[in-house]
């Protein structure tokens, strides 16, 4: 039973990860901005990861507390990821490397792809993974309160930075 669940989880993770990475590559290839590529890919990955989680673990209602908690963490992580991306893009060394006129457009897109994945990985290790272990996948009588607090934190980040890091038109 456990081996079957682990195998199913690994298979679904491979599919969802492959779809998300493919989306990033396509968005960068079509000259979508790095910020929008990050935003779209993170939102897409959250949606398909939640659907995959529901499929693999058959747990609870689809539109239940689990979705509320998943979205609450997503709101905060999306804001923080965009802020981190902005800070890394403005780093002098990174900016000079990406904007170097002597490199090809393909190499520039590869650097941008690496930058996006670096932001996602850092926030996954520092925020998402700990919250998954201690909040998302754990039942707690205060789940609603904690979820609303996370939503408020996400909204405060958005307000404090005037939505500057959210989307680029």
- 78-110 tens-digit pLDDT: 888 888 988 998 899 989 988 888 988 888 889
Mean pLDDT (the chain) is 83
pTM of the model: 0.80
Assign 168 to helix, strand or coil. Answer: coil
CA atoms 32, 36, 37, 43: torsion sign:
negative
Q: In the predicted model, what is the mean pLDDT of residues 144-156?
A: 89
Are the C-beta atoms of residues 14 and 52 closer than 8 Å to each other?
no
Token pair, residue 81, equals: 């990821």
User: Torsion over CA of 130, 132, 137 and 141, rounded to 10 degrees?
Assistant: 60
Is the pLDDT at 169 greater than 50? The verdict is no
Is the pLDDT at 41 greater than 70? The verdict is yes
Our CA angle for 126, 130, 132, nearest 5°, is 125
Domain map of the chain by residue range? 2-160
Query: What pLDDT score does 118 carry?
Result: 93
CA–CA dist 89, 115 (Å, integer): 8
CA–CA dist 20, 16 (Å, integer): 6
Query: What pLDDT score does 134 carry?
Result: 83
Query: What pLDDT score does 139 carry?
Result: 83
């Amino acid at each position: 039973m456990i081996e079957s669940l682990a195998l199913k989880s690994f298979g679904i993770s491979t599919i969802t990860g492959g779809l998300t990475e493919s989306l990033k590559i396509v968005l960068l290839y079509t000259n979508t901005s790095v910020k929008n590529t990050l935003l779209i890919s993170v939102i897409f990955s959250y949606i398909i990861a939640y659907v995959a989680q529901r499929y693999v673990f058959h747990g609870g209602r689809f539109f239940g507390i689990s979705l509320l908690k998943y979205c609450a963490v997503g709101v905060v992580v999306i804001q923080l990821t965009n802020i981190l991306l902005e800070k890394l893009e403005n780093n002098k060394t990174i900016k000079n490397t990406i904007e170097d006129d002597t490199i090809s457009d393909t190499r520039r897109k590869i650097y941008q792809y690496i930058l996006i994945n670096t932001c996602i990985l850092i926030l996954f290790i520092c925020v998402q993974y700990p919250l998954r272990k201690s909040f998302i996948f754990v039942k707690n009588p205060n789940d609603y309160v904690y979820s609303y607090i996370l939503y408020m934190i996400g909204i405060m980040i958005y307000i404090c930075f005037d939505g500057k890091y959210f989307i680029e038109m």
